[in-house]
Structure 1
Amino acid sequence: MEARRLAAACEGPNCQMPGVKKQPARGAKPAPIKRRDRERTRQEILDIAFEEFAENGLSGGNTDAIAARANITKRLIFYYFNSKEDLFTAVLEMAYAEMRAAEEGLHLEALEPEAAIRRLAEFTFDFHQAHPQFVRLVSIENIHRGRHMASSRRLKEMTQPSISQIAKVLERGAACGAIRPGIDPIELHMTLNALSFFAVANRHTFEAQFAWDMSSPKAKAQRRAEIADLLWRCVRKD
């Protein structure tokens, strides 16, 4: 275990393991020992793995390719992440954490109920449009029946603030008579994500089948407005 720890902390041509002396060339000064920053290396692996898995899936994702792009050994990947499956789970956690962190910046509590619902819809649509790799990664996890998400406590915990934020908007809207009571925040979250997700995940097949523009700025703006209208009509009290 100690040898493994030392090997991970020190790598490269200038790294020197304890008990192993490297003789410098005649007349040359000994090269300084270079040590990797652990967190920076781990994050670099995650960033590259995110692109690899989003493009090629879990089965097609290649840890050799990830190691080559990160300029590290494959052994170092498995030092930080015990297996390819664990690496994929960590990538999912990172991707969802980015979305949840962005959601926290919406401050829906400061908006009137209708404005809050529309802001939530617009944000969700914009996030999916700006992160097609996130959409592909979620689709891949669904192919694997969500088993990595099911095993991650972190992924389960990070959903709570998102649902709580929606629940508070619904409660506040119901209290002032703007939103009909009894709406399940998880159901609303699912409806919104289904609408926004489809606009990215099914764009190419829908365009090919119906010859319908879903990619131009004009088409995206129209769809964005339509989803915001749909969500508000879904929750408002007539």
Structure 2
Amino acid sequence: MTIETANIAAGRSRTNDPEATKRNIIEVATKEFAENGLSGARIDEIAAKTKFSKRMIYYYFGDKDGLYLKVLEDCYSRVRATEAALNLEGLSPLEALKTLVGFTFDHHTSNEAFIRLVMIENIHHADYIARSPVIQQLNVTAIDAIRKLYERGVAEGSFRPGLDAIELHWQISALCFFNVSNRATFSAIFKRDLGTSESLARLKEAVVDMIVRYVKAD
């Protein structure tokens, strides 16, 4: 069997599995949107890289906007699913908070496409996220998890009272997000590579420590 024949056969096999087809398209589209933005991404490029036709992409996702929204939903779904698997309720509030912050830092560090997509969506004033009940519900669940964690800590006296769960989520996200979104500019301006394993380890430790100091009871 030639390479060309094998590729054709693989393509036919994938079309017989709609979920695998959609997964492949979303994976390629995630990279395309993250690299080029919503306006710069091209369905032609996505089709070429997946070896599926534009017609099939439109069949599954409607149009480019529909595909972009599915990419956003997929990114948020994956991060929230991994958070849910952390078993925070099985840890003490302090250890659960450290685990959550450390996970968020590691996730953002290893998922630059997610960071770029969030930045792109902010350029669009969150128009697409606002249309998605999927993303809205996912983030309600994330805030509920933080709220429960925080309330457990307050109840046992390890966390100080009076903090807001959404604001706490904001602060965790901000410290972990900036590490990726502004790493290139900081490294260039200050002539120091903040992306080395040593730098990232120090930054992660500092971020966890800052959040713990902020939340911990005196």
Q: Calculate the TM-score normalised by the size of structure 1.
A: 0.84
**In the TM superposition, what are the counterparts of 1:179-194 in structure 2 within 5 Å?**
179-194=159-174
What is the aligned partner in structure 2 of residue 103 from structure 1?
83
Matched, 1:145 2:96: no
**In the TM superposition, what are the counterparts of 1:19-38 in structure 2 within 5 Å?**
36-38=16-18
The correspondence for 1:66, drawn from 19, 40, 46, is 46
Amino acid at match of 1:76: M
Q: Provide the rounded CA distance (Å) in 1 between the counterparts of 2:15 and 2:152.
A: 53
What is the aligned partner in structure 1 of residue 23 from structure 2?
43
Q: Please, which runs of 5 or more residues in structure 1 have no aligned partner?
A: 1-12, 15-31
Identity fraction in percent: 43
What is the aligned partner in structure 2 of residue 229 from structure 1?
209
Q: Tell me how large the CA RMSD over aligned residues is.
A: 1.9
Distance 1:96 1:35, change over 3 A: closer
SS in 1 for 2:157: coil
Normalized per residue, the structure richer in helix is 2
Give the CA deviation at 1:35. 5.3
Amino acid at match of 1:71: K
Q: Please, which runs of 5 or more residues in structure 2 have no aligned partner?
A: 1-7
Runs of 4+ deviating beyond 4 Å: 32-35
Distance 1:34 1:230, change over 3 A: closer
How many residue pairs end up in the alignment?
Answer: 210
Larger radius of gyration: 1
The correspondence for 1:174, drawn from 132, 144, 154, is 154
Matched, 1:94 2:99: no
Q: Provide the rounded CA distance (Å) in 2 between the counterparts of 1:52 and 1:209.
A: 28
Give the CA deviation at 1:39. 1.5
Matched, 1:76 2:92: no
Q: Calculate the TM-score normalised by the size of structure 2.
A: 0.92
Matched, 1:211 2:191: yes
Amino acid at match of 2:167: E
CA contact (8 A) 2:15 2:21 kept: no
Distance 1:88 1:123, change over 3 A: same
SS in 2 for 1:213: coil
The correspondence for 2:111, drawn from 112, 127, 131, is 131
CA contact (8 A) 2:14 2:20 kept: no
**In the TM superposition, what are the counterparts of 1:191-206 in structure 2 within 5 Å?**
191-206=171-186
Amino acid at match of 1:50: T
The correspondence for 2:144, drawn from 160, 164, 184, is 164
Give the CA deviation at 1:106. 1.1
Q: Provide the rounded CA distance (Å) in 1 between the counterparts of 2:161 and 2:36.
A: 44
